[in-house]
Amino acid sequence: MNFRFVGTGDSAQVPRFGCDCPACGRARVLSSHRRGACCAEVRVDGYRYLLDAGRTDLADSCEQETPEAILVTHYHADHVQGLFHLRWGTGTMIPVYGPKDANGCADLYRHPGVLDFRPGLKPFRPLMLPGLTVTPVPLNHSKPTLGFCLEDGGGRLAYLTDTLGLPGETERFLRDWGPDVVVLDATHPSTHHEPRNHNNLPMALQIIERLGASSAYLTHIGHDLDAECMTADMPLSGPVWLAHDGLELDAGAMMARRCG
């Protein structure tokens, strides 16, 4: 399984409009430090899957190569805004799997266009797709939200955003399932003491430690976490990294390294 972080920012992205903090200033000068809306791409056996659809060039990307399916974690705008343009296209219908959410986002359900919404993913019930098994797990967020446990027979990767902590049943499932790679929401820096909808850095590190993951990447990163990491000694330890836009992982190779 090849996994690519397409976007790793929070809903404000980096640089944040109008902000002159060190992280936003750096991102304006060095495009490698920019963070787009949080989303990812998975390639397995010649099939391409998209995790979330917040990128504003989504239609261009799908025109170059139609995805087998889009998996939506939840219906906040930063995760689905690309669908508003894509839906008015023509051609093959694109399946869009997501959590049960009666409202979705704005009028997407009422005017789906080329999008074939399948909003009934059931927690812990595996969805079998060509080359890929996806087990949805509930997350803690202000809208119905699912994480995705991805397995291709060679590696296991858990994609867990947006969330504040993890529901107990999800944490128990993940400990049994044993992901090779955990991708986790870490929107806020450690100085953000009372987060409501997303992890701060210490919470994310504690979750990763409890899960015993052999490698982990933080995503949905806000500008103030980037700024904190620029000034402090990096508070990250062990096999935990900040993801960045464009970063690619080979989940199968990670499993092979761990076993070998």
Enumerate binding residues for Zn ion (CB under 5 A): 16, 19, 21, 24, 76, 78, 162, 223
Smaller CB separation from Zn ion, 162 or 180: 162
Nearest approach, Cβ of residue 20 and Zn ion (Å): 7
Residue 183: phi and psi, rounded to 5, are -110, 120
Smaller CB separation from Zn ion, 76 or 156: 76
Nearest approach, Cβ of residue 222 and Zn ion (Å): 8
Nearest approach, Cβ of residue 192 and Zn ion (Å): 14
Nearest approach, Cβ of residue 246 and Zn ion (Å): 19
Q: Which amino acid is at 159?
A: Y
Q: How many CB atoms lie within 10 A of CB 29?
A: 8
Q: What CA–CA distance (Å, rounded) separates 140 from 134?
A: 19
Nearest approach, Cβ of residue 128 and Zn ion (Å): 27
Smaller CB separation from Zn ion, 132 or 139: 139
**What's the burial of 239, exposed, middle or buried (CB within 10 Å: 0-12/13-18/19+)?**
middle
Smaller CB separation from Zn ion, 87 or 220: 220
Q: What CA–CA distance (Å, rounded) separates 81 from 85?
A: 8
Q: Which residues of 109-135 are buried (b: 16+ CB within 10 A; e: fewer)?
A: eeebbbbebebebebeeebebebbebb
Smaller CB separation from Zn ion, 52 or 151: 52
| Tokens 């529901």 sit on residue | 167
